[in-house]
């Protein structure tokens, strides 16, 4: 079995080297399909299970899958020095917090709004890169950040601008303003992670699977601690939960591998805009699967966010 896996990996690597751009685009598109399917399964669990229970289940199974992958690929788990260890711990802790925030936003918003706001991370990465990496903050970036900000306001639809009528059709337990704020903080955390990972991969040449081991580990701990703080919660591991959480973990693991691999085969300026296919897919899921009512102002706001983010990346 191990020899078969090694042979398949070797042949795949050879094909990738001959068709780098083609495979990078395929990996990028495939990762977005896996991500959206994963988020759809999360949406199916949002009634009856807390965010902490969903995150903890996903990350525990993901930890096992990633460990097996590292073992088969002979990727070292332990870092070479204390600096690498510190950066991995930072990435793991912030990643755990980001996961809780993003998954919580799925409970307060519909899928498409949550994904759009979470995908504002290129905006915050631009600002964080200027602070931590010394990169220049251009006028173009500031202008398109402002355009994306207008899009976020349209998604929030604050009552003092749009009036109380915009809140009529909200589903019980939904909170547009709080959900968007939580998703924004999650996006900022993801941006900080990207800065840390960029430093680790460029300066220390660390493998993404090695970094993810610490992300899974600390996410399990953080979600477990958060779960202890949830009052009067009786967790029941039903067959529905076990089935969906296993699918969520597997899809998330594969999506992470595909997306990170696409960046190693092609330039970020080509791959990054492809992640916004996730937005289109999420609107389709909301309309045809969850039967959500999508308003024109949400669509316009999403377009502004996507256009602003892509312009910053390119």
Residue-level pLDDT at 168: 47
pLDDT per residue over 221-250, tens digit each? 998 888 877 666 677 788 989 999 999 999
pLDDT higher than threshold 70 for residue 34:
yes
DSSP string, the chain: -HHHHHHHHHHHHHHHHHSHHHHHHHHHHHHHHHHHHHHHHHHHHTTTS-HHHHHHHHHHHHHHHHHHHHHHHT---S-SSHHHHHHHHHHHHHHHHHHHHHHHHHHHS-HHHHHHHHTTHHHHHHHHHHHHS-----HHHHHHHHHHHHHHHHHH--HHHH-GGGGTTPPTT--HHHHHHHHHHHHHHHHHHHHHHHHHHHHS---HHHHHHHHHHHHHHHHHHHHHTSTT------HHHHHHHHHHHHHHHHHHHHHHHHHHHS-HHHHGGGGGHHHHHHHHHHHHTS-----HHHHHHHHHHHHHHHHHH-
pLDDT band at 285 (very low <50, low <70, confident <90, very high): very high
Residue-level pLDDT at 1: 59
Residues in Cβ contact with 119 at an 8 Å cutoff, skipping those fewer than 6 apart: 187, 275, 276, 278, 279, 305, 306, 309
Please give the average per-residue pLDDT across 199-227, as a whole number: 81
pLDDT higher than threshold 90 for residue 105:
yes
pLDDT higher than threshold 80 for residue 2:
no
Please give the average per-residue pLDDT across 244-259, as a whole number: 93
pLDDT higher than threshold 60 for residue 170:
no
| pLDDT above 70 coverage of the chain, percent | 87
Q: Which of 66, 136, 127 is nearest to 95 (CA)?
A: 66
pLDDT band at 204 (very low <50, low <70, confident <90, very high): low
Please give the average per-residue pLDDT across 264-290, as a whole number: 84
User: Mean pLDDT: which of 146-150, 243-247, 264-268 is highest?
Assistant: 243-247
The pair of three-digit structure tokens given for residue 226, joined into one six-digit string: 């958060």
Provide φ and ψ at 35, rounded to 5°: -60, -50
pLDDT higher than threshold 80 for residue 167:
no
Higher pLDDT residue, 22 or 13? 22
pLDDT band at 111 (very low <50, low <70, confident <90, very high): very high
pLDDT band at 67 (very low <50, low <70, confident <90, very high): very high
* N residues, the chain: 314
pLDDT higher than threshold 60 for residue 159:
no
pLDDT higher than threshold 50 for residue 144:
yes
pTM for the predicted model, two decimal places = 0.85
Higher pLDDT residue, 138 or 34? 34
Residue-level pLDDT at 192: 86
Higher pLDDT residue, 280 or 170? 280
pLDDT band at 93 (very low <50, low <70, confident <90, very high): very high
Residue 4 CA from chain centroid, whole number: 32
Please give the average per-residue pLDDT across 123-132, as a whole number: 78
Please give the average per-residue pLDDT across 144-169, as a whole number: 70
């Amino acid at each position: 079995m191990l020899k078969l896996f090694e042979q398949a990996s070797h042949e795949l690597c050879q094909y990738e080297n001959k068709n780098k751009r083609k495979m990078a685009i395929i990996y990028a598109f495939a990762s977005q399909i896996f991500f959206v399917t994963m988020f759809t399964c999360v949406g199916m669990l949002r009634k009856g299970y807390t965010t902490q229970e969903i995150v903890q289940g996903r990350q525990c199974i993901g930890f096992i899958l990633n460990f097996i992958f590292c073992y088969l690929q002979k990727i070292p788990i332990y870092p070479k020095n204390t600096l690498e260890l510190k950066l991995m711990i930072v990435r793991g802790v912030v990643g755990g917090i980001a996961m809780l925030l993003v998954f919580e936003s799925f409970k307060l918003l519909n899928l498409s709004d949550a994904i759009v706001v979470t995908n504002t991370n290129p905006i915050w990465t631009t600002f964080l890169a200027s602070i931590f990496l010394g990169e220049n903050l251009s006028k173009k970036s500031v202008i398109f950040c402002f355009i994306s900000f207008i899009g976020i306001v349209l998604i929030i639809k604050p009552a003092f601008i749009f009036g109380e009528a915009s809140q009529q059709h909200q589903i019980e337990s939904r909170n547009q303003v709080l959900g968007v704020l939580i998703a924004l903080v999650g996006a900022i955390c993801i941006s900080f992670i990207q800065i840390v990972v960029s430093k680790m991969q460029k300066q220390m040449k660390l493998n993404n699977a090695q970094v993810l081991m610490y992300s899974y580990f600390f996410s399990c701990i953080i979600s477990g601690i958060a779960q202890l703080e949830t009052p009067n919660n009786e967790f029941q591991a039903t067959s529905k939960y076990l089935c969906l959480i296993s699918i969520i973990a597997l899809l998330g693991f594969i999506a992470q591998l595909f997306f990170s691999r696409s960046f190693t085969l092609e330039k970020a300026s080509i791959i990054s805009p492809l992640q916004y296919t996730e937005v289109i897919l999420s609107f389709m899921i909301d309309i045809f699967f969850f039967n959500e009512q999508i308003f024109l102002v949400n669509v316009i706001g999403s377009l502004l966010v996507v256009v602003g983010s892509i312009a910053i990346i390119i």
